[in-house]
Amino acid sequence: MIRFQDLSIKLKLISIQLFTTLFILVFFVGIYLYSQYHQFEDRAFSRMSTLANVLGSNSISALLFFDNDAANDVLESLETQGDILNAVVYDHNGELFARYDRATHTDFTFGDLLSESREAGDGHFILTKKIIFDNLKVGWISLRLDSTTRRAELVEALGQSFLLFIAGLILAGLLSLRAQKPISESIKLLADSARQVRDSNDYSIRVVSTSQDEIGELVVSFNDMLEKIRNHEQHLEQLVAERTVELEAAKTKAEESDHLKSAFLASMSHELRTPLNSIIGFTGILLQGMAGPLSDEQTKQLGMVKGSASHLLDLINDVLDISKIESGRIQVYDEAFKIDLLLVMAVSSLRPFAEKKGLRLRHNITSGLPRLHTDKRRLEQVLINLVNNAIKFTDEGEIIVNCYLKEGSLNVDVIDTGVGISTKDLETIFETFRQIDTGLDRVKEGSGLGLAISKKLVELLGGTISVISEPGAGSTFSIILPVRPEELSSEE
Amino acid sequence: MKSKTLIIEDNENNMYLITFLLKNSGHDIIQAYDGQIGVELAKTENPDLILLDIQLPKMNGYEVATALRKDASLTKVPIVAITSYAMPGDQEKAIASGCTGYIKKPINPDTFVGEVESYLDSNKPD
């Protein structure tokens, strides 16, 4: 079922106008027909009264001279009045004086009519009037009129009204079709434009206003709104463009300064190594006795120079390493290798230093370990750093390096029996330039970057590093490295 | 083993150091303090080995190596870069420009001569 509010504005306007017209037409046609029906009786009696007056006065002389034939002649003139069925004239005593009957209506008998009256009967009207001469009643006249034409007349009027009705409706329809156009079309135009804006996001579209009514106002507001949106959009675009330019400039600047930083680090590293090359080189030559024999004191002091130079070199290397890692410039290679040999070599290279301090350094490697896919050299750097630290901070006992597979990952634990680390220091031990105050000779301590570098390198290799320790109870540093699933299955 | 080694190095102390170590082991030394002179000396002296610093005035080590390899008489001579190993890729660049190998700076006086001689050995079978 279609509801009125769902109709288009065009149909709404047309139907409102048609219904209004229909209502008015029905109202007036009804009144017209009603009055038409009721006036029929009045008009009929008025005509009969006129006829009676004329016929009555024409019959006066016939009544006065008792001339029935003359009266009948007078009544005969009713032939021209098609709807008068019967007519009678009585003398002043009420005796029938003359009679007229239209063909086929001869059998009608007037009743007692000796008084002036009008009677609307079944299918006929009857009028009775006195005939007056010189203020004297000389007789009576009665006319009977056929009222059956009333219905026919009504039907005829109804037919005319119906034609009028149809003509009115057609006219109203045509008029409303034209009249609704400016309203419905401007609304439709507005609606179409709004849809077009929505679909195309083109805010430069404008609707042309054709009127100054409420719809015209709506069009103006609509256009203003679009203008505002377009301005806002252009403002935003401009803003974005400006910000993009600024960001690009900032990015270029950042890249430049990053580049400068790297160049600075490279050249600083070179500049620092060049004199260090001479220091370490000549110290070595002197210590080897190549330039002549040395006293014990000279040998001892040159050894200190050599140690300090080596420490300085470590510092330079560590600073360079951490800079490279932090700026993401470090290259990580991916090669497949067995960790067993790498671990044995690293431990062996450090064993002399451990033995010099009277420490035992041993390793414990599970057999049948899977191959690793990672940067061999970086892993070696981390292992050497951890074992070196263990040797550095352990005065007696032993250092054990355990290597085993656990939960699909490779674990390397470096366990020492050294001084241990306090809870407070454990929190910051992997941060850059953090050193624990152990009261040991600082020259032997390194740069304070070793663990920070180790942590970053292990993370770069996709692994994790952690520490468990208590002051006086030694420390355990653990590395966990990922192993490719296919290597796990192939080994087992 | 006695050989003729060309050292291309701009730092006087380092030149003295390397020269001292190699002379001490009985090698003949030719010295060049910049890349350009190094290339000229290499062509005229026909050395058995070239030790090449990378950061040099006039021509850097990579350019020197490239230039040397273009000379028909110098295609086989071992060129060993002495690199300060500052940035990743330095060594790869040295090899790519024609060097036979590299020795990390600062040099270790205990092992330096042995390392240098290993490059001479590898060239001997030729």
At residue A283, the pLDDT reads 93
Burial class (CB in 10 A: 0-12, 13-18, 19+), A386: buried
Confidence at B85, pLDDT banded by 50, 70, 90: low
Chain B residues within an 8 Å CB radius of A276: 106
Domain range annotation of chain B? 4-121
Confidence at B124, pLDDT banded by 50, 70, 90: very low
Structural domain span for residue A472 = 331-491
**Pair (A241, A300) in one structural domain:** yes
**Sheet-wide strand order for B28-32:** B28-32, B4-8, B49-53, B79-83, B101-104
Subunit contact A273:B89, Cβ cutoff 8 A: no
Is A248 within the bounds of a domain?
yes
Is A25 within the bounds of a domain?
yes
At residue B1, the pLDDT reads 59
Per-block average pLDDT, block size 10, for chain A (492 residues)? Answer: 81 87 88 85 90 91 89 90 88 88 80 77 87 89 86 84 88 87 84 90 84 86 91 93 95 87 76 87 90 91 89 83 77 85 90 92 90 89 92 91 91 92 85 58 59 91 92 92 80 46
At residue B126, the pLDDT reads 41
**Chain A residues with CB within 8 Å of chain B CB:** 262, 265-267, 269-270, 273-285, 288, 290, 313, 320, 324, 329-331
| Bond preceding residue A352 cis, omega within 30 of 0 | no
Q: At A69, which CATH number?
A: 3.30.450.20
Is A440 within the bounds of a domain?
yes
Chain A residues within an 8 Å CB radius of B108: 280, 284
Subunit contact A277:B87, Cβ cutoff 8 A: no
Tell me which of A134, A149, A170 is where a domain ends: A170
**Pair (A397, A310) in one structural domain:** no
Distances (CA, A) of A53 to A56, A128, A133, A139: 5, 10, 12, 12
Query: Residue A296: what residue type?
Result: D
**Pair (A315, A340) in one structural domain:** no
- Output the CATH code of domain B4-121: 3.40.50.2300
Give percent above pLDDT 70 in chain B.
Answer: 92
Q: What is the DSSP string of A141-160?
A: EEEEEE-THHHHHHHHHHHH
Is A115 within the bounds of a domain?
yes
**Pair (A354, A487) in one structural domain:** yes
**Pair (A321, A381) in one structural domain:** no
Tell me which of A295, A330, A365 is where a domain ends: A330
Is A15 within the bounds of a domain?
yes
**Pair (A371, A325) in one structural domain:** no
Least-confidence region, from A413-427, B6-20, B74-88: B74-88
Confidence at B123, pLDDT banded by 50, 70, 90: low
Which residues, at least 6 apart from A78, have a Cβ–Cβ distance to it below 8 Å? A51, A55, A84, A87, A100, A102
Contact between A482 and A365 under an 8 Å Cβ cutoff? The reply is no
At residue A435, the pLDDT reads 57
Helix runs in A288-368, H state only? 296-326, 339-356
**Pair (A131, A274) in one structural domain:** no
**Pair (A118, A81) in one structural domain:** yes
Contact between B50 and B32 under an 8 Å Cβ cutoff? The reply is no
Contact between A101 and A108 under an 8 Å Cβ cutoff? The reply is yes
CA–CA gap between residue A75 and residue A415 (Å, rounded) = 155
CA–CA gap between residue A479 and residue A415 (Å, rounded) = 12
B87 shares contact with chain A (CB less than 8 Å): yes
Domain total of chain A: 3
Among chain A residues, the shortest Cα distance to B85 is held by A270
**Pair (A342, A412) in one structural domain:** yes
**Pair (A299, A374) in one structural domain:** no
B21-50 pLDDT per residue, tens? 999 899 999 999 999 999 999 999 999 999
Q: Give, in degrees to the nearest 5, the angle at Cα B52 between B48 and B58.
A: 125
**Pair (A267, A344) in one structural domain:** no
Going by C-alpha positions, the residue among A436, A356, A430 that lies closest to residue A393 is A436
Tell me which of A330, A354, A374 is where a domain ends: A330
**Pair (A455, A356) in one structural domain:** yes
Among chain B residues, the shortest Cα distance to A316 is held by B86
Is A189 within the bounds of a domain?
no
Reported ipTM: the value is 0.77
